[in-house]
Amino acid sequence: MPVSTRSQISCQEEQQRSRCRRSNEETQMNNVTNNFTLRNPHHGLKEKMRALTLLYEQQKKASAILRNNNPSSSPKPDPQEKRLTSHPSVDLLTSCKRSERKDEKEQKDPKFNNVMRENTVPTLPTMGNSTVTRTYVLPQPPLDDAKENLSIGTDRILGFSSCARKATTMEKAKPTVVVRKLSMVGARNVQELESNANTEKNGRVGGNESRIHVFVRLRPMAKKEKEAGSRCCVKIVNKKDVYLTEFANENDYLRLKRLRGRHFSFDASFPDSTTQHEVYSTTTAELVEAVLQGQNGSVFCYGATGAGKTYTMLGTLENPGVMVLAIKDLFTNIRHRSFDGNHAVHLSYLEVYNETIRDLLSPGRPLVLREDKQGIVAAGITQYSAYSADEVMALLQRGNQNRTTEPTRANETSSRSHAILQVVVEYQVKDASMNIINRVGKLSLIDLAGSERALATDQRTLRSLEGANINRSLLALSSCINALVEGKKHIPYRNSKLTQLLKDSLGGACNTVMIANISPSNLSFGETQNTLHWAHRAKEIETKACEANEEVIEVPETGTDQAKLLLELQKENRELRVQLTCQQQKLVTLQAQSLAAYASPTPSSVTYLATPSTVQTQEKCKPRSTFLTRNCFTPESRKRGAEEAVKELRLTVKALELEMARMKKEHASQLKQKDDIIHVLSKKKEKPTEVGVKVATKASLRPKEPNHGELKSPSHRFRSPVPTAKKRSFWDITTANSPSVTTLNGRKTRSHIVSEPVAAPSMLPQPGFARQRPNALK
Ligand SMILES: Nc1ncnc2c1ncn2[C@@H]1O[C@H](COP(=O)(O)OP(=O)(O)OP(=O)(O)O)[C@@H](O)[C@H]1O
């Protein structure tokens, strides 16, 4: 066991002490170093930099040696590139650049271009003024890239997108900033493209559905408004956009200079200088053409009282409105087409006043609305057949005189009712295969009563009641518009008579146009804003696809053709019968001759035999050159003997008999055939309509009514075939002796305004209306 001595212990102690001192010194050193590091964070960086530079130099040399060894390798790198390659992000940039260059190179390649063209966004043909572009789903790149491509769609952007793709896969590097910017642009563009596509879908051109087309018309500032010191708060820009400015209240000194505005955009907006013709040709002309093709069309004016609805729809004598121009246009078009078909025009005119429906062409008791297969109809309404624009004008004039108007504070001749003029055009034409095509188009022209505030009109009881009813129906109209826009299943058409009547125009298969009339005055700011709001909303209403109401009636053969054929066959038959009797007579004669020759072959008998018919009696003195005389009664044959002649005769008779029998048989069969044909044809003649009548639409399912030589309407509502001769309804008969309608229910009509008697329809050379405004706004 080892034993430690004192000297050993002291030596160990000494060693331990010295170890301790060294360690203390080291910790002190470390502390000093640490303290220094904290004090100077860049300490040692120079050394590190130097080391890195050395390493770089070494690598550079090594790569130079490598390149020298293999001179055919890649071209000399860009010095700039060389300087930056040490950093990973720089690596990324260079790779992006390279890929960009590669993309550029690839795009120069025609093959590549062909492939890429499928992925880029093509520009579609222009629609109107704007270029319509369509979004395409790109098969390869992710969504962001697709947006980028959509946003610019050039060669460069492909480079950016590929670069961005690398950045996301490798590292989130700097180029993403650029990408994000482009993505935002792309997103906006995508939205634009989508909205364009929607516009295309909603427009009349594309898609199965079309939407209501909304136009705005600004009327000029009225004299009254100018006198009241009002300012113009509406500005129309680009023939489409309407800027509405709200001026601050004059008493509100703090906000006197403050302007608030709203912007609306429509299919077209008409400034106050627009003529009636311009309004008509932009809004309604197309609809009139479509009506002639068998489609339904509706035009209605909406707006506050005094905003110019009646001016737009009816106009004046000097400036006729949409109704007049449409009727004129309709008849002009009909005249141009008259060579290839028959047209019939039927007309009705009604008003909705205080939630009751009145026939304006035959005023009487209120009418009741009924819904049938054709839609909602006013039962018992008068339908007139019109043959010229003048006749329609006369009827319109008469109807307008019966229409309810009242002077209100806002308008001297304010329409207190909604007026609906319906023109139905029936067109019959024969197609190439001589089938009859029957088209029925309906044009509804609607002048609504003005939406109004009670204060704007009047406080009197009747006026406020009228106003309440007008507002009620317009409110119902707004609810229907809302429900239609929101795509609700239930549309509250039944809330008012107006909406019931407009059901077809709003939610049916109909080309519908809404003209929103507005006043420029800041005094009517609220009403104008309201009108613009609803008009803007109505733009979103989609109507059903409008198809032509068309019937195709196949006609087999006309009755005259059949009769002709029958006569021909009968004639032929008669001739055949005559031929047969002749042949039979001949046979009988021959038989008699042969018998006579057999009994007594004398010259007398020859004379007898030679005169078989009565015609030949005059020629009996003449020598005959028949086969009988030639062969049998020459001097030589007499020598041969009578028996031979008889033999010959018998043979001839036999041959003739055979031929006669054959002919008889033939004729009998021919006669039988023709008898059969005549029988079939006479049967057809008895029931001509049962053969081959094919009706292409539902209209065929309706029970047929007797047609008194006129075009028959599928609606069954045209009960007045005689021109201008009015068919009287039940209500007309019951109210035939009632007092003047102008005072009916105490309401005033337009006949109050015009005292002249109504001109007879044919006497009216000029269209127009007796809507005179003594103190009209100027
Ligand atoms: N575009 C226009 N150019 C010239 N005058 C106009 C125009 N629009 C309207 N007016 C005039 O403004 C006045 C009011 O117009 P109108 O009677 O047509 O209004 P309204 O909307 O039908 O009113 P209400 O709903 O009360 O019947 C009329 O005197 C009319 O001549």
Other C-beta atoms closer than 10 Å to the C-beta of 38 total: 9
- H or E element at residue 438: strand 436-447
Query: Among 217, 404, 777, 778, which is best to mutate for testing ligand 1, by the most ligand atoms less than 8 A from CB?
Result: 777
Q: pLDDT tens digits for 680-739?
A: 877 765 554 443 334 344 444 444 444 443 333 333 333 333 343 343 333 443 343 343
Q: Specify the ligand 1 atom closest to the Cα of 776.
A: 29
Alpha-carbon distance of 595 to 588, in angstroms, equals 11
* pLDDT value at residue 69: 59
Tokens representing 498?
């107006």
Atom from ligand 1 closest to the CA of residue 517: 21
Torsion angle in degrees (nearest 10) through CA of 217, 768, 325, 316: -20
Interface predicted TM-score (ipTM) of this complex, two decimals: 0.98
Q: Give the angle subtended at the CA of 126 by the CAs of 121 and 127, to the nearest 5°.
A: 120
Strand, coil or helix: 420? strand
Atom of ligand 1 nearest to the CA of 411: 26
**Token pair for 70:** 């293999």
Protein residue closest via CA to atom 14 of ligand 1 = 306
Categorize the per-residue pLDDT at 72 as very low, low, confident or very high, splitting at 50, 70 and 90.
very low
Please compute Rg for the chain using Cα positions: 51
Ligand 1 atom nearest to CA at 314: 18
- Does residue 611 register a pLDDT over 50? no
Residues 580, 581, 585, 591: is their CA dihedral positive or negative? positive
Q: Can you tell me the distance from the alpha carbon of 107 to that of 473, in angstroms, rounded to the nearest whole number?
A: 63
In ligand 1, the atom with minimum distance to the C-alpha of 773 is 29
Distance CA 347, CA 420 (A): 11
pLDDT at 621: 38
Alpha-carbon torsion, ordered 637, 643, 645, 648, to 10 deg: -140
For the stretch 161-196, pLDDT in tens is 333 333 333 333 333 322 222 222 233 333 333 444
Cβ–Cβ under 8 Å, residues 546 and 295: yes
CA distance 173 to 90: 9
Q: What is the mean pLDDT of residues 104-113?
A: 42
Distance in Å, CA 410 to ligand 1 centroid: 10
- Among 280, 311, 353, 521, which is best to mutate for testing ligand 1, by the most ligand atoms less than 8 A from CB? 311
H-assigned helices in 341-451:
389-402
In the predicted model, what is the mean pLDDT of residues 496-523? 86
Ligand 1 midpoint to CA 640 (Å): 124
Ligand 1 atom at minimum distance from 272 CA? 1
Whole-angstrom distance, CA of residue 153 vs CA of residue 364: 68
Judged against a pLDDT cut of 70, whether residue 482 lies above it is answered with yes
CA of 307 to the centre of ligand 1 (A): 5
CA of 363 to the centre of ligand 1 (A): 25
- The residues, ordered by sequence, that sit 6+ positions from 464 with a Cβ below 8 Å of its Cβ are 454, 457, 458
Q: How confident is the model at residue 558 (pLDDT cuts 50, 70, 90)?
A: low
Question: Residue 699 belongs to what H/E stretch?
Answer: none
pLDDT mean across residues, the chain? 64
Give the Å distances, CA to CA, from 718 to 208, 295, 382, 438.
31, 18, 8, 15
Atom 15 (ligand 1) nearest CA: 308
Q: How far is the CA of 533 from the centre of ligand 1 (A)?
A: 20
Residue 312: is its pLDDT beyond 90?
A: yes
In the chain, the amino acid numbered 371 is: E
State which H helix or E strand residue 606 sits in. helix 603-609
Name which residue leads in pLDDT, 513 or 23. 513
Is 308 labelled a binding residue?
yes
Span 592-598, average pLDDT: 75
Task: Read off the pLDDT of residues 13-51 as tens digits, 9 standing for 90 and up.
Answer: 556 555 645 555 454 444 434 443 444 445 566 677 778
Q: How far is the CA of 311 from the centre of ligand 1 (A)?
A: 5
* pLDDT higher than threshold 80 for residue 147: no
Is the predicted pLDDT of residue 238 greater than 80, yes or no? yes
Helix (H, G, I), strand (E, B), or coil: what is residue 625? coil
Does residue 545 sit in helix, strand or coil? coil
CA–CA separation, 208 and 202 (whole Å): 9
Q: What is the DSSP letter of 160?
A: H
Gap from CA of 309 to ligand 1 centroid (Å): 6
More confidently predicted of 536 and 701: 536
How far CA 195 is from CA of 132, 134, 239, 268, 338, in Å, comes to 10, 10, 20, 18, 43
Distance CA 308, CA 216 (A): 11
According to the model, what pLDDT value does residue 151 have?
Answer: 32
Distance 773 CA to ligand 1 centre (A): 10
Closest alpha carbon to 440 in 355, 509, 525, 351 = 509
Please give the average per-residue pLDDT across 421-447, as a whole number. 84
Please check the confidence at residue 670 and state whether its pLDDT lies above 70: yes
Strand partners, 218: 518
Position 268 scores a pLDDT of 93
Which residue's alpha carbon is nearest to atom 16 within ligand 1?
A: 308
Q: What is the dihedral of CA 73, 79, 81, 82, to 10 degrees?
A: 70
pLDDT tier for residue 343 given thresholds of 50, 70 and 90: confident
Q: Is 309 annotated as a binding residue?
A: yes
pLDDT over 60 (residue 77):
no
CA of 319 to the centre of ligand 1 (A): 12
186 labelled as ligand-binding?
no
First to last CA, the chain: 138
| Cβ atoms 404, 751 nearer than 8 A | no
> What is the fold of 215-554+706-763?
Kinesin (3.40.850)
306: annotated binding-site residue? yes
Stretch 55-77: mean pLDDT: 65
Do 355 and 501 touch, CB atoms closer than 8 A? no
Residue 607 has pLDDT above 70, yes or no: no
Q: Where are the beta strands (DSSP E) in 340-407?
A: 342-353, 356-359, 368-372, 375-379, 384-386, 405-406
The helix (run of H) or strand (run of E) holding residue 76 is: none
SS3 of residue 554 by DSSP: coil
pTM (two decimals): 0.50
Residue 277 CA from chain centroid, whole number: 23
Give the integer Cα–Cα distance in Å for 573 and 347: 55
For residue 158, how many other CB atoms are within 10 A of its CB? 24
Q: Is 310 annotated as a binding residue?
A: yes
Phi/psi zone of residue 278: left (φ > 0), alpha (ψ -120 to 50 degrees), beta? alpha
Query: Which of 230, 498, 241 lies closest to 354, judged by CA?
Result: 498
* Ligand 1 environment, Cβ below 6 A: 219-220, 303, 305-311, 411, 413-415, 449-450, 517, 773, 776-777
Task: Please give the backbone phi and psi of residue 373, each rounded to the nearest 5 degrees, phi first.
Answer: -60, -30
Q: Whose CA is nearest to atom 8 of ligand 1?
A: 308
User: What three-state secondary structure class fits 68?
Assistant: helix
Least confident range from 25-29, 240-244, 497-501: namely 25-29
CA dihedral 640, 641, 645, 650 (to 10 degrees): -130
Better-scored residue on pLDDT, 221 or 123: 221
Answer yes or no: is 668 a known binding residue.
no
> pLDDT at position 600, please?
57
Query: What's the pLDDT score for residue 325?
Result: 94
